[in-house]
Amino acid sequence: MKVGDRVRVKNLDFWKNNEGEVIKRQKKLIDGVGKVIDINLGIFKVEFPEIDNAVEYFDGRELEMFDTYEKQQIDLVFVSWQQKGKSVYNKDEYEWLFTGDLHRGVVFKAIMELGEEEVDRIKRAEKEGIKPVFDLVIQDSDRRKNRREI
């Protein structure tokens, strides 16, 4: 969470002030939606415009993100095989990479969860000729890795 994010209060933990007194907060804050206006040492200052413009402090365990992410259909376009940021197409020892499905311009359809702010940022970058580049990583799923060794 960062300043400007909208958050929902999911529970109220005990809160003590500098004198050690327990501060009781309004139960109507639970499920309330507010905006993070400051963060200091892991404590989130949240403003609730719909609840009498209340301002309260929370730790991260009490909050969850309110803005949900929507699934966006995206195209992953293969650019090149690279090593340390440079193409390996001019190296004979990597000739075996030049055949197969991964060659320049191949498009893979995918679905990615992105927030509206991120979609806007990507579209703005695209207008300026800037495109994100991704590494393709195959995740090995091995159930045995979850076993504890004794």
Give me the residue spans of the domains in the chain. Answer: 6-65, 70-127
- What phi and psi, each to the nearest 5 degrees, are found at residue 85? 80, 5
**Which two three-digit tokens encode residue 94?**
């990597």
Global model pTM greater than 0.75: no
The residue behind tokens 């020892």 is 93
CA dihedral over 22, 28, 33, 35, signed as positive or negative: negative
pLDDT tens track, the chain, 150 positions: 788 888 988 888 777 777 888 877 788 888 888 899 999 888 889 998 887 778 888 888 888 888 767 778 888 888 888 888 788 888 888 888 888 888 888 888 888 888 778 888 888 988 988 888 777 777 776 555 555 554
**Which two three-digit tokens encode residue 122?**
């990507």
- CATH of the domain spanning 6-65: 2.30.30
Calculate the CA 73 to chain-centre distance. 17
